[in-house]
């Protein structure tokens, strides 16, 4: 008996060897990922901070020549390209499938800088007034074709929406000040809550999330190339928000799982979906910093072509202090001083290398966008083509997530105005010819059709879908309804009623 117990004890102390693959992000890798998603102003501040902290970095005057990559060879044994890092990360974390293929196109492989700009007028739009949430909503309201009375009510509602996108004023007070019934205010509020951005006009966070979920579910039904959400998952997410909101916002996930009687994997799906929502729908129009938006890229015409140019005038030109290695041979330096110099040299190399990679990757992505959307720059919104991150990733042989970080929070100044670079990435709808058309183009067509429709006989959603079908654009009645609502356009029977009034 004692021998059996001794055998079990020996077995319990035995080591269990397992082979697992883990990616440990070094500080250098982490810096690469962080810098890539910085915009021009953030990168400028990062460079200035690095110059302050690292004595081996110095700024080069405009009169001096600077090699394209001023990097000391063999300075860092952990050298690894950003895209390799992203690929390793995504092996562990990504479950996104491939999207539609796009024929590869030649991409210019040399850099262009702001010194190449020949048209000084391009600088006139360097700083521009960014649209605030009120301007954005009023622009949609003017397209809604409301009666004068309803327009004034909507205007009051929009005027009381704060910078976060929430309506903080009681509806009874709005009704009293507008001289209308409470039901009328509720009716117009529902219309405003259909405006962009999703969740705007909510009176609290719970209502904000419910509006966004409604918009998200409707969009998933409209876009055929979007992975559908199961009815069960939709129901569970709505139940979590409706009935267990306190557990959700309090991150009491164990209690939430028990309340919904679901598995851990289903809980993760619910939380992941909720985390895609925006708790402050007005944050995209936040102007509290007072810092003007500066384009990271300009698009200028060169002959018959449009060409992207990096806005490098904001970035200090860096290099590593020359002959720093000579100091390592000085006799009076101790081991700590030598190690300090080596560490600073390694960091300086990474900084210079990451700046060069930021420029190179951003310019390559901009070149693909400009090449692909040349008709848009020439002719306008109706000629905008659908484009996905995967399309650009395949053309540049980079990872999709690398492209996503590259365009994040960056702006491009074009002949059609200043846009967030993310503006150019949107899904498309099928045409009967087999081609695809941008969802933004379809919205523009819907807006134009409604603007030109007979006032006494406005088009209903099916008629608009039929007209687009005649133009070989395949879009369902439900999709038309979704686009119409996102534009703030009323249904046909209400538009006719306004005409009669």
Summarize pLDDT for 155-167 with one digit per residue, the tens: 999 988 988 899 9
Percent of the chain at pLDDT exceeding 70 = 70
Mean pLDDT within 191-214: 91
Q: Domain for residue 12, yes or no?
A: no
**What distances in angstroms separate CA 183 from CA 7, 43, 166, 204, 211, one per listed residue?**
79, 51, 20, 19, 19
Contact 396, 365 (CB under 8 A): yes
Q: Domain for residue 215, yes or no?
A: yes
Q: Which residue matches tokens 């509006």?
A: 211
Is a pLDDT exceeding 60 seen at residue 141?
A: yes
Distance CA 72, CA 110 (A): 22
Q: Domain for residue 90, yes or no?
A: yes
Mean pLDDT within 470-478: 81
Query: Residue 111 contacts by C-beta under 8 Å, 6 or more apart in sequence?
Result: 68, 310, 359, 360, 363
Mean pLDDT within 480-494: 80
The upper half-sphere exposure of residue 97, i.e. CA atoms within 13 Å in the direction of its Cβ, equals 5
Q: Which residue matches tokens 């139940």?
A: 239
Tokens for 175? 């009704």
Q: Domain for residue 39, yes or no?
A: yes
Mean pLDDT within 185-189: 94
Is a pLDDT exceeding 70 seen at residue 347?
A: yes
Residue 340: count other Cβ atoms within 10 Å of its Cβ: 13
Contact 133, 165 (CB under 8 A): yes
Q: Which pLDDT does position 186 carry in this prediction?
A: 94
Q: How many residues can be counted in the chain?
A: 501
Distance CA 380, CA 198 (A): 26
Query: pTM for this one?
Result: 0.49
Q: Domain for residue 257, yes or no?
A: yes
Query: Are 279 and 140 found together in one domain?
Result: yes
Distance CA 217, CA 234 (A): 8
Tokens for 84? 């390799």
Cis check: omega of the bond before 53, within 30 degrees of 0: no
Q: Each residue of 16-60: pLDDT tens digit?
A: 666 555 444 566 667 777 888 888 888 888 888 888 888 888 887
The upper half-sphere exposure of residue 453, i.e. CA atoms within 13 Å in the direction of its Cβ, equals 24
Q: Domain for residue 411, yes or no?
A: yes
Query: Are 413 and 488 found together in one domain?
Result: no
Q: Which pLDDT does position 214 carry in this prediction?
A: 87
CATH number at residue 452: 1.10.10.60
More confident residue, 67 or 336: 336
Average predicted confidence (pLDDT) for the chain = 75
Q: Which pLDDT does position 120 carry in this prediction?
A: 38
How are beta strands 411-414 and 318-320 bridged, if at all?
unpaired
Query: Are 381 and 331 found together in one domain?
Result: yes
pLDDT band of residue 188 (cuts 50, 70, 90) is: very high
Q: Each residue of 422-453: pLDDT tens digit?
A: 888 876 555 555 556 667 778 878 888 888 88
Note down the domain range covering 470: 428-500
Query: Are 361 and 305 found together in one domain?
Result: yes
Phi, psi (degrees; rounded to nearest 5) at 437: -130, 145
Burial of residue 386 (CB within 10 Å: 0-12, 13-18, 19+) is buried
Q: Which pLDDT does position 110 carry in this prediction?
A: 32
Dmax (CA) for the chain in angstroms is 99
Tokens for 360? 């190179």
Query: Are 90 and 182 found together in one domain?
Result: no
Residue 5: count other Cβ atoms within 10 Å of its Cβ: 9
Is a pLDDT exceeding 80 seen at residue 322?
A: no
DSSP conformation letters of 301-358:
EETTEEEEEE-GGGSPPEEEPTTGGGGGG-TT--HHHHHHHHHHHHHHHHHHHHHHHH
Q: Each residue of 380-399: pLDDT tens digit?
A: 777 788 888 888 999 999 88
Mean pLDDT within 356-371: 93
Q: Domain for residue 3, yes or no?
A: no
Query: Are 140 and 280 found together in one domain?
Result: yes
Q: How many domains does the chain fold into?
A: 3
Q: Which residue matches tokens 């008629």?
A: 463
Is a pLDDT exceeding 50 seen at residue 331?
A: yes
Query: Residue 5 contacts by C-beta under 8 Å, 6 or more apart in sequence?
Result: none
Examine the fold and report which residue of 264, 284, 304 is the final residue of a domain before the chain moves on: 284
Q: Each residue of 211-249: pLDDT tens digit?
A: 998 888 776 554 433 445 678 888 899 899 999 988 888
Query: Are 138 and 279 found together in one domain?
Result: yes
Query: Are 228 and 200 found together in one domain?
Result: yes
More confident residue, 500 or 252: 252
Q: Which pLDDT does position 41 carry in this prediction?
A: 87
Examine the fold and report which residue of 401, 426, 451 is the final residue of a domain before the chain moves on: 426
Query: Are 308 and 420 found together in one domain?
Result: yes
Q: Which pLDDT does position 128 carry in this prediction?
A: 42
Q: Each residue of 299-320: pLDDT tens digit?
A: 998 888 999 999 888 788 888 8
Query: Are 271 and 164 found together in one domain?
Result: yes
Is a pLDDT exceeding 50 seen at residue 94?
A: no
Query: Are 451 and 409 found together in one domain?
Result: no
pLDDT band of residue 12 (cuts 50, 70, 90) is: low
Query: Are 207 and 304 found together in one domain?
Result: no
Distance CA 238, CA 245 (A): 10
Examine the fold and report which residue of 381, 396, 426 is the final residue of a domain before the chain moves on: 426
Q: Domain for residue 15, yes or no?
A: no
Q: Which pLDDT does position 501 carry in this prediction?
A: 45
């Amino acid at each position: 008996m004692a021998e059996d117990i001794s055998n079990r004890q020996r077995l319990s102390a035995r080591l269990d060897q397992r082979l697992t693959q883990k990616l440990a992000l070094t500080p250098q890798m982490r810096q690469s990922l962080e810098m890539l998603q910085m915009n021009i102003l953030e990168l400028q501040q990062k460079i200035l901070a690095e110059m302050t902290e690292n004595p081996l970095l110095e700024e080069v005057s405009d009169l001096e020549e600077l090699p394209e990559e001023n990097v000391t060879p063999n300075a860092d044994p952990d050298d690894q390209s950003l895209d390799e890092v992203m690929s390793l990360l995504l092996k562990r974390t990504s479950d996104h499938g491939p999207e539609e293929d796009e024929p590869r196109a030649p991409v210019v492989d040399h850099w262009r800088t702001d010194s190449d700009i020949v048209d000084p007028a391009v600088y006139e739009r360097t700083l521009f007034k960014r649209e605030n949430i009120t301007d954005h909503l009023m622009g949609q309201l003017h397209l809604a074709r409301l009666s004068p009375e309803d327009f004034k009510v909507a205007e009051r509602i929009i005027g009381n929406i704060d910078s976060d996108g929430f309506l903080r004023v009681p509806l009874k007070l709005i009704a009293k000040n507008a001289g209308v019934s409470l039901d009328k205010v509720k009716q117009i509020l529902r219309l405003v809550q259909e405006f962009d951005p999703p969740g705007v006009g909510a009176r609290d966070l719970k209502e904000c999330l419910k509006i966004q979920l409604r918009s998200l579910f409707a969009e998933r039904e409209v876009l055929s190339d979007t992975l559908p959400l199961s009815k069960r998952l939709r129901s569970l997410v709505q139940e979590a928000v409706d009935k267990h909101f306190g557990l959700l916002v309090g991150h009491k996930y164990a209690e939430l799982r028990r309340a919904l009687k679901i598995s851990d994997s289903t809980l993760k799906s619910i939380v992941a979906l909720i985390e895609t929502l925006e708790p402050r729908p007005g944050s995209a129009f936040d102007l509290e910093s007072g810092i003007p938006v500066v384009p990271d890229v300009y698009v200028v015409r060169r002959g018959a072509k449009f060409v992207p140019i990096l806005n490098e005038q904001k970035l200090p030109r860096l290099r590593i202090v020359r002959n720093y290695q000579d100091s390592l041979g000085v006799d009076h330096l101790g081991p700590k001083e030598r190690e300090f110099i080596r560490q600073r040299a390694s960091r300086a190399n990474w900084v210079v290398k990451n700046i060069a990679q930021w420029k190179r990757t951003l310019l390559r992505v901009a070149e693909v966008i400009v090449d692909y959307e040349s008709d848009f720059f020439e002719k306008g919104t109706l000629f905008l083509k659908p484009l996905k991150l995967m399309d650009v990733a395949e053309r540049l042989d980079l990872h999709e997530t690398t492209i996503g970080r590259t365009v994040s929070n960056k702006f491009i100044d074009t002949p059609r105005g200043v846009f967030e670079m993310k503006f150019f990435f949107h899904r498309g709808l099928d045409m009967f010819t087999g081609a695809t058309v941008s969802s933004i183009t379809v919205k523009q067509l819907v807006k134009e059709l409604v603007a030109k429709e007979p006032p006494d006989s406005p088009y209903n959603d099916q008629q608009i879908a039929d007209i687009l079908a005649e133009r070989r654009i395949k879009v369902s009645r439900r999709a038309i309804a979704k686009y119409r609502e996102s534009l703030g356009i009323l249904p046909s029977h209400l538009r006719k009623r306004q005409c009669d009034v």
